[in-house]
């Protein structure tokens, strides 16, 4: 399954101040307290980015669980207290506190993202101790940003723990190695080069589909369903030819199966599902690009979660 969403849902410029709603996720009259419900009808997953800045209480996570439909998956970014302040040192208490709260999501808890500071040089013992603090059933993705992490030793460490290297894109190019160290993949889109900024072009999105699903492992013949690109009216909440989110019991079973084979990590392949999040939120670019990528995946016959087709905004709104 290819899960596609955005990094957060509470962006004021995703709702127009009045007039034309074209190019916006939220209608002008929709109050902010209902944005999550509106988002979750159109996407099957979200990455909670603000937990990095301030870790929500358990009740907040539980409320998100109640407000989203069955099968919805919430990826959560680890608190910066561990990654940026402690710099992975003494991880036991920060990880325990994070999990105690995030487990308010119940079965909707998705991967946990550890984004490391760009000034943090490789410290494999610290990363090893941190990953060991997570229970086997928790999926962890690691996003290193200093080049000293990109070594064979780090790759093997991630593979031993079944942790995914977070693939990352900035300016339509990979800024990390393309290691496959777990049976799930995690990809973040930070900034494209198309216009208007920070949109992604179609060729960049196609290239990332090819990286996730190489031609040798999947047919790239697209189903002719009309003109490609983020144009036209928004699709209904179910998406545009995309597969519905898996039943909650199926999601739980997949997680259990993965951790049950803890000592049999994939050697460069075997990725069962991808989690893709667009972090290029200004101007609603993340929503538009997420819908475009989902459409491309659906036309290739890939199992992909729902995403809306939001057309670009009129020039006057940019």
Which of left, alpha, beta for 76 (phi over 0: left; psi -120 to 50: alpha)? beta
- The percent of residues above 90 in pLDDT, for the chain, comes to 78
Local structure of residue 78 (DSSP, 8 states): P
Asked which of 94-108, 111-125, 177-191, 212-226 is least confident by mean pLDDT, the reply is 212-226
Q: State residue 144 phi and psi, 5-degree precision.
A: -75, 150
Q: Rounded distance, CA 166 to CA 51, Å? A: 18
Closest alpha carbon to 14 in 4, 36, 171, 72: 36
Mean predicted confidence (pLDDT) in 265-270: 52
| Residue 136 banded pLDDT, cuts 50, 70, 90 | very high
* pLDDT at position 311: 92
Mean predicted confidence (pLDDT) in 65-73: 98
75 pairs with which residues across the strands? 47
204 cis-preceded (ω within 30 degrees of 0): no
* pLDDT at position 292: 97
| Residue 19 banded pLDDT, cuts 50, 70, 90 | confident
| Average pLDDT across the chain, whole number | 87
Mean predicted confidence (pLDDT) in 110-137: 98
Closest alpha carbon to 77 in 125, 142, 26, 145: 142
Q: State residue 44 phi and psi, 5-degree precision.
A: -105, 0
Question: Is pLDDT at 11 greater than 60 in this prediction?
Answer: yes
| Residue 313 banded pLDDT, cuts 50, 70, 90 | confident
* pLDDT at position 240: 47
* pLDDT at position 141: 98
pLDDT digits (tens, 9 = 90+) for 149-191: 999 999 999 999 999 999 999 999 999 999 999 999 999 999 9
Q: State residue 317 phi and psi, 5-degree precision.
A: -90, -10
Q: Rounded distance, CA 165 to CA 158, Å? A: 7
47 pairs with which residues across the strands? 7, 75
**Cα separations (Å) of 240 from 35, 62, 202, 275?**
21, 30, 17, 18
Mean predicted confidence (pLDDT) in 90-112: 98
Residue 193: other Cβ atoms inside 10 A? 14
| Residue 270 banded pLDDT, cuts 50, 70, 90 | confident
Q: State residue 73 phi and psi, 5-degree precision.
A: -125, 130
Question: Is pLDDT at 235 greater than 60 in this prediction?
Answer: no
141 pairs with which residues across the strands? 113, 164
* pLDDT at position 237: 44
| Residue 244 banded pLDDT, cuts 50, 70, 90 | low
The continuous run of DSSP H or E covering 190 comes out as strand 184-191
Structure tokens at 3: 């899960």
Question: Is pLDDT at 117 greater than 60 in this prediction?
Answer: yes
pLDDT digits (tens, 9 = 90+) for 25-36: 999 999 999 999
| Residue 250 banded pLDDT, cuts 50, 70, 90 | very low
* pLDDT at position 234: 36
Question: Is pLDDT at 249 greater than 80 in this prediction?
Answer: no
Pairing of strands 184-191, 273-278: parallel
Question: Is pLDDT at 21 greater than 50 in this prediction?
Answer: yes
Helix (H, G, I), strand (E, B) or coil at 164: strand
CATH topology for the 2-317 domain: TIM Barrel (3.20.20)
Helix (H, G, I), strand (E, B) or coil at 5: strand
Mean predicted confidence (pLDDT) in 187-198: 97
List the domain boundaries for the chain. Answer: 2-317
Tell me the chain's radius of gyration from C-alpha atoms.
19
Residue 264: other Cβ atoms inside 10 A? 11
Of residues 75 and 314, which shows the higher confidence score? 75
Structure tokens at 231: 């144009």
pLDDT digits (tens, 9 = 90+) for 32-59: 999 999 999 999 999 999 999 999 999 9
Of residues 67 and 317, which shows the higher confidence score? 67
Q: Rounded distance, CA 83 to CA 89, Å? A: 8
Report whether 95 contacts 55 (CB < 8 A): no
């Amino acid at each position: 399954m290819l899960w596609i969403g955005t990094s957060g849902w509470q962006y004021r410029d995703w709702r127009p101040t009045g007039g034309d709603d074209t190019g916006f996720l939220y209608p002008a009259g929709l109050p902010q307290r209902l944005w999550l419900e509106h988002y979750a009808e159109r996407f099957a997953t979200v990455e909670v980015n603000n937990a990095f800045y301030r870790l929500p209480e358990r009740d907040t996570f539980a409320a998100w669980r109640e407000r989203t439909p069955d099968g919805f998956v919430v990826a959560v970014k680890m608190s910066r207290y561990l990654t940026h302040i402690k710099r992975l040192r003494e991880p036991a208490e920060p990880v325990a506190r994070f999990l105690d709260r995030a487990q308010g999501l119940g079965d909707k808890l998705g991967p946990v993202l550890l984004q490391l500071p760009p000034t943090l040089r490789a410290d494999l013992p610290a990363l090893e101790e941190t990953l060991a603090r997570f229970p086997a059933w928790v999926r962890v993705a690691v996003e290193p940003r200093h080049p000293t992490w990109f070594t064979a030793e780090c790759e093997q460490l991630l593979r031993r723990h079944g942790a995914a290297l977070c693939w990352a894109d900035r300016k339509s190019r990979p800024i990390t190695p393309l290691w496959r160290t777990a049976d799930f993949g995690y990809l973040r889109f930070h900034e494209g080069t198309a216009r208007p900024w920070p949109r992604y072009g179609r060729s960049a999105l196609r290239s990332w589909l090819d990286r996730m699903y190489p031609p040798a492992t999947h047919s790239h013949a697209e189903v002719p369903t009309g003109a490609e690109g983020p144009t036209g009216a928004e699709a209904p909440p179910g998406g545009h030819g995309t597969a519905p989110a898996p039943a909650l019991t199926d999601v739980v079973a997949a997680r259990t199966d993965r951790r049950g084979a803890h000592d049999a990590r994939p050697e460069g392949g075997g990725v069962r599902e991808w989690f893709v999040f667009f972090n290029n939120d200004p101007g609603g670019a993340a929503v538009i690009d997420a819908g475009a990528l989902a459409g491309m995946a659906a036309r290739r016959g890939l199992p992909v979660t729902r995403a809306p087709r939001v057309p670009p905004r009129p020039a006057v709104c940019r």
